[in-house]
A and B are shown apart, each in its own frame.
Chain A
Amino acid sequence: MAEEFLVVEDLKTWFPIRSGLLQRTSGYVKAVDGVDLTLRRGETYGLVGESGSGKTTLGKSVLRLIEPTSGTVVLDGTDVTKASKRELKKLRRRMQMIFQDPYASLDPRETVGATLSEPMRIHHIVSSRNEALKQSKELLLRVGLNEEHLFRFPHEFSGGQRQRIAVARALAVDPDFIVLDEPTSFLDVSVQAQVLDLLKTLQKELGLTYVFISHNLSVVHYMSNRVGVMYLGKLVEDAPREVLYKSPEHPYTYFLMSAIPVPDPEFKKETKLLTGDVPSPVNIPPGCRFHPRCPYVTDRCKTGEVPYYVGKGPHHNVVCHYNIDFERNMQTPRPEPIVAKPMAS
């Protein structure tokens, strides 16, 4: 347990819906509705899910960019959720984020040098402009750019280069932990490969811990050690990478895996199609959140929270009442869970 670098416990982030003349709260958008996960130092936790799953909100809540409604986040022993403003500012140096849209995550009016120097100035890491420029130059070289780029504006760069600048900016404060929210979704495949490799190299060199959020299952597979699947605000399955991809146990995970297009036309894929559309977190179904779309649904699934069951793999948590044989379409109920909380890796 001492190895646990990041521990998230029952994290909930709800957004009130206000309506009516008096702006009464008529309900909540339960974007993140009780998530537990743990991560070891130096590893990557892959978070997958579709739109509405809450994965981006989870990433932001862990960093307190969005204030969580309840629950705790403990980073290397420090409780992030309870930190005061001043403590939080110091904590921010340790945890950073890379955003999805390279075109909007840099201030378009600032030169790259200014963008990189600013965090250094905020945290008083440097004492002069010269020093800031020197360190910024080092950062740029580290991400594969060069000195000339210091004085150019973001719009002069390609998407891949901008993401590198974003990485450099995150590194400027010397963090331990980075949340990457779809960092390569907007990039071309070859550029994506470069950026992903850069991220992996940096992780090894600097001992960074990542939470990698993406809807692209192949990319998550490449980057992660452990993967969690989110659906409507909760983690429905959480396991080491190979276990999740090769032997998924939750039906939603299974559908996700079979939907991944594979770059091989001769691969006979059993494409099980999921019916219906991705739901929104405004009206969460009672009982198991997935039950309206699940072909294996039974009455038991429609009421009551589903606890964490133990899956077959090591450190494998599944939120489903049934053991399902997807090939033969058979299901058997699982024995009651022994532990109330998910097992860490």
Chain B
Amino acid sequence: MKTLARRAETVAWESETKARIAELKYAFYLIRQNPLVLSGLVLVVFFISLSLIATLLVNPVDAVKLDFARSYCWDSRLYSWTPQEASCPTGTNYILGTDGFGRDLLSMIILAIPLDLSIALVVVAIATAIGVLLGSVAGWVGGKFDEAVLRVTDIFLSFPSMVLALVFAALFGHTIQTLTFAVVLVWWPTYVRLTRGQVLGEKEKPYVDALKNLGASPARIVLFHIIPNSIYPVIVQMSLDIGGVILNFSALIFLGFSPSPTLPELGNLAADGINRVFTAPWLIVFPGLTILVIALAFNFVGDGVRDILDPRLRR
């Protein structure tokens, strides 16, 4: 109660509330206007919720229960793959068929989603953090530091992404952690470049001069003004990268760097399917589709988030 009362005493409380409500209304308007963003948002929420309750839906014990008798079978009433049909033993109901270990593919996908999502989010978060930090300092400070950062970035970028990750994985083993780090190595340079470019542009703008004139320290200017204004392309890049990271990670696993052959991971599942495209196509189709949908969903949301957050793009 006391805080509420104090709140009401705040200067211009009504104006502030009115303005905040107007902002929210505008955000909703934008989302409504853009069906892609809306669908993306719905899907992202869906996937995240799914990840949170995954262990409730599927007993993880099942993940390890191998039953070779039921491998690669398809029994769903939804669709029949011809000509090669491998029917499952009766009494089972595998909606999406089974994988090489006889496990229900749908359950595996449900278990894989949280794994892939969390890895993707971690990779993107780390890459962004390194990238934005380095990029903004390099862009602001310029000179030799900037040159050095640019060269290092160039070196990393000149490697084909897979080669870099492969070398790292080969050297440091293939646990999930090392694989994650391998992927980070591939993705961070782009963020440096992006941020640096934006910072170079922003620092020439008059409002930066005005801030300097008002006595603001460089740290303050960079942290509170330049970085927030440079972040928009980074956000879009982040949303695009989620899909890309999953693919990258999956590819690594596919190439044989899998921590364990039974790991429920979308790439792992799909890898098995590559050799059986005609005999068991569901193994590659469904995990692949899942990756696609996740990537698209984040992509759409990324667009929308940028539109909402960037005041310059409005009205």
Contacts and interface: CB of A to CB of B under 8 A. Distances in A.
A134 B11 contact: yes
A15 B290 CA distance: 57
Interface in A76-124: 89, 92-93, 95-97, 99-101, 104-111, 113, 118-119, 122-123
Interface stretch (A149-157, A187-195, A206-214, A307-315): A149-157
B83 interface: no
Contacts of B213: 63, 65, 92, 95-97
Contacts of A107: 207, 211, 225, 229
Most chain A C-beta atoms within 10 Å of own C-beta, residue among B20, B209, B314: B209
Contact of A153 (B12, B215, B311): B311
A259 interface: no
A227 interface: no
B312 interface: yes
Contacts of A89: 215
B20 A151 contact: yes
Interface in A117-150: 118-119, 122-123, 129-130, 133-134, 137, 147-148, 150
A166 interface: yes
Interface residues of B, number: 28
B210 A105 contact: yes
Contacts of B212: 65
A169 interface: yes
Given A99-B209, A118-B214, A133-B10, A155 B315 contact: yes
A147 B229 contact: no
A296 B137 CA distance: 53
A155 B315 CA distance: 8
Contacts of A156: 315
Contact of B214 (A106, A151, A154, A173): A173
A274 to B, nearest CB: 30
A221 interface: no
B20 to A, nearest CB: 7
B12 A122 contact: no
A99 B215 CA distance: 16
A200 interface: no
Contacts of A118: 211, 214, 216
B215 A104 contact: no
B91 interface: no
Given A92-B214, A93-B215, A151-B19, A137 B206 contact: no
B2 interface: no
**Residue among A63, A123, A137, A153 with max Cβ neighbours from chain B (10 Å):** A153
A148 B311 contact: no
Contact of B16 (A100, A106, A150, A154): A150
B21 to A, nearest CB: 10
Given A65-B213, A130-B11, A155-B311, A104 B16 contact: no
Given A65-B212, A169-B214, A151 B207 contact: no
A133 B12 contact: yes
A302 interface: no
Interface in A154-209: 154-156, 166, 169, 172-173
Contacts of B10: 129-130, 133
Contacts of A134: 11
Given A133-B12, A150-B12, A101 B214 contact: no
Contacts of A293: none
B312 A155 contact: yes
Nearest to A140: B12
A133 B209 contact: no
A110 B225 CA distance: 9
A106 B16 CA distance: 20
B77 interface: no
Contacts of B214: 92, 96, 118-119, 122, 169, 172-173
A104 B162 CA distance: 42
Contacts of B312: 108, 155
A110 B220 CA distance: 14
A99 B210 contact: yes
Given A133-B11, A137-B11, A123 B215 contact: yes
A215 interface: no
Contact of A104 (B15, B19, B205, B220): B205
A41 interface: no
Interface in B46-83: none
B15 A151 contact: yes
B160 interface: no
Contact of A166 (B9, B19, B210, B311): B210
Interface in B11-58: 11-12, 15-16, 18-20
Contacts of A65: 209, 212-213
B206 to A, nearest CB: 4
A63 B212 CA distance: 10
Contact of A150 (B15, B206, B220): B15
Interface in A46-87: 60, 63, 65
Max chain A CB contacts within 10 Å: which of B16, B207, B215, B216? B207
Given A118-B211, A122-B215, 14 more contacts: A89-B215, A97-B213, A100-B206, A104-B205, A105-B209, A109-B225, A130-B9, A133-B10, A150-B12, A150-B15, A155-B314, A155-B315, A166-B210, A173-B215
12 contacts: A65-B213, A92-B214, A99-B206, A105-B210, A107-B211, A108-B312, A122-B220, A133-B12, A151-B20, A152-B19, A154-B311, A172-B214
Closest 3 CB pairs of A and B: A151-B19, A133-B11, A105-B206
